[in-house]
Amino acid sequence: MTAAGESSASTVSAPAPGHHAPALRKVLSPMHIWALGVGIVLVGEFMGWNFSVEKGGMYGALVAAWFVGLLYTCIVMINSEITSAIPAAGGQYAQAKHTVGPLMAFNVGLYLTLAYTMLEAANANVLSYLLSQLSSLTGSSEELSPYAFATLAIMALAWLNYRGVFAALSLNFVITGFAFITIIVLFFGVSGWNAGISLHLDGLIGSLDNGLPYGWIGVIAAFQFGMWFYLGIEGTAQAAEECRSASRSVPIGSMAGIMTLIIAAGLTWYVCAGLLPWHYLGVSITPLFDAARVSGSGVLVVLLLLGTLFATIASANGCINDASRAWFSMSRDRYLPAWFSAVHPRYHTPFRSVVFLVPIAIAFALLPVLLDQPTLLATVITFSILSGLLTYSFMGPNFIRFRKLWPMGTITRGYVLPLHPAPAIALLLLSGIVFFATFLGYGTALLSLLAFYLLASIWFVQRRYKYVKRGAQFTADLPRPRGY
């Protein structure tokens, strides 16, 4: 975009004298933050996490769930403190521009946008598979085309996000709550209260063949898939600007969210490990649904299929919300063309950012099907995970810097992280372990992604940095640190 074009975009977006420009509407409560965080993640309980069993065995998957759960607990606590002080759309991007600078902020914003857009595409692809399973359960013999389902799912959810964040996240609360309840129902349905169904965890005790078939290196390798239990909970920060009280809603919603996910992870592992052979569990596409089928209960089968379906929809819905907020925030600060920063005058949503990302998500969703390359879907998911990991690696050092810029007692915090700097250091170390685990399985993808972000950084420095208004970067209601 030329300098003249950028100037023109700024002029068009400026409000008329005497009128206020449309802004994001503050309508969200802790319930919506919980729905956003858990909604994005809960699909990982229904699929994806079980590949950690293939890498590390039953016990390896459990250890990975525990340690990665600690990683995400650190993320949630760090997120809660900084976001309560800097409640801006863009989440970690907004944090980076205040604590580090434009280049880091651009990269973090790009990490977030691509992570959520690719995860949204993967969810749409999985949704078409689930609908075909639902069709077969109803007795239909016709083969359903995945193209239409994936495309319509993304477009329908984008339309909902276009119309308003309150409706989008209220829907997420309902369908996420239903999906979580199905996990609890399955747990009690296969417990000792039902004499016809039994779990076989006793077969794991003392058995390295099932529990740790590849030793501790297998446990390390399982970490990359243990992330699926919690991947995306950090997205709660994206909605901070639209909360009625961000200093209250983000900490409460995020903390409740991580506790929900830890409970769901434990129940999921326990049920699946007790009902399914580990060799099968490690390659299953829908492990909880398969566990319900093993139970022999038709009611549980239908419930878990619906739970998987709703969790997938909730995840895609939350991803659209988070990706559009990151893209919108970057354009509002001129890291991207200002045209994307428009807010709808009636619905108060970043509608251009929502619409712009739709064809990109559809392309990522349909390419594996159109090219008949199922491995491309795994690549899309891997790029999403790696982009998330890059964000986590930034968050630990960033929090230490945040505390140095604004020490305790200098600003009001809605939540205070305990035991500082232990959580930030733990987050950095655990992120390094997960990076190593990912490199073992996806080294080429990791290097390719790093090369992509390096090229994007060069583009930003050469072509976009001149449009960034350096003096207008500090937007938080905080005292400016000395030397900022």
How far apart CA 154 and CA 157 sit, in angstroms, is 5
Cα–Cα distance measured from residue 300 to residue 401, given in angstroms and rounded to the nearest whole number:
49
Q: Tell me: cis bond preceding 368? Omega within 30 of 0 counts.
A: no
**How many C-beta neighbours within 10 Å does residue 120 have?**
32
Mean pLDDT of 320-325: 97
- Comparing CA positions, the residue from 430, 420, 421, 422 lying closest to residue 393 is 430
How far from 43 is each of 17, 93, 227, 254, 268, CA to CA, in Å? 47, 25, 12, 17, 12
Q: Which range has the worst mean pLDDT, 14-28, 160-174, 187-201?
A: 187-201
Map residue 344 onto helix, strand or coil.
coil
CATH ID of 26-462, from 2.60.40.10, 1.20.1740.10, 1.10.1660.10, 3.40.1350.10: 1.20.1740.10
Whether the predicted pLDDT of 51 surpasses 70: yes
**3 — pLDDT class (breaks 50, 70, 90):** very low
Mean pLDDT is highest, among 364-373, 376-385, 471-480, for 471-480
Residue 193 has pLDDT above 60, yes or no: no
CB under 8 Å to 286, separation ≥6 — which residues? 46, 47, 130, 133, 308
- In whole angstroms, what is the distance from residue 450 CA to residue 458 CA? 12
pLDDT digits (tens, 9 = 90+) for 239-253: 999 999 999 999 999
CA-CA-CA-CA torsion sign (173, 175, 176, 179):
positive
**First-residue to last-residue Cα distance in the chain:** 29
Mean pLDDT of 302-312: 94
Cβ atoms of 332 and 341 within 8 Å: the answer is: yes
Mean pLDDT along residues 69-87: 97
Q: What is the pLDDT of residue 471?
A: 76
* Band of residue 16 on the pLDDT scale cut at 50, 70, 90: very low
Q: What is the pLDDT of residues 117-155, one digit of tens each?
A: 999 988 988 887 788 777 777 776 777 776 788 888 899
Is-contact 266 229, C-beta < 8 A? no
For residues 174-212, one letter each, b for 16 or more C-beta atoms within 10 angstroms of the residue's C-beta and e for the rest, the string is ebbbbbbebbebbbebbeeeeeebebeeebbeeeeebbb
Token readout for 247 is: 């200093």
What's the token pair of residue 388? 């998330």
Share of the chain above pLDDT 90, in %: 65
Give the other-Cβ count within 10 Å of 454's Cβ. Answer: 11
Q: Which of 323, 350, 354 is nearest to 25 (CA)?
A: 350
Helix 374-405 to helix 102-137 angle (10° resolution) is 140
On the question of pLDDT at 460 being above 60, the answer is yes
How does DSSP classify residue 460? I
Number of Cα atoms under 13 Å in the Cβ half of residue 170 = 8
> pTM of the entire structure?
0.92
6 vs 109, residue with greater confidence: 109
Q: 436: pLDDT confidence band, cut at 50, 70 and 90?
A: very high
Spell 142-166 as b/e; 16+ CB within 10 A means b. eebebeebbbebbeebbebbbbbbb
Determine the Cα–Cα distance for residues 286 and 284; give it in Å rounded to an integer: 6
- How many residues are present in the chain? 484
Choose among 353, 370, 443, 464: nearest CA to 116: 353
- For residue range 329-374, list pLDDT tens digits in order: 999 999 999 999 999 999 999 999 999 999 999 998 888 777 777 6
pLDDT reported for residue 202: 53
What is the predicted pLDDT for the residue at 170?
98
User: Which has the minimum average pLDDT: 108-117, 398-407, 475-484?
Assistant: 475-484
What are the structure tokens assigned to 453, written together? Answer: 């972000």
Examine the pLDDT at 19 and tell me if it is beyond 60: no
Q: CA-to-CA distance for 435 and 413, rounded, in angstroms?
A: 31
- The rounded mean pLDDT for the chain is 88
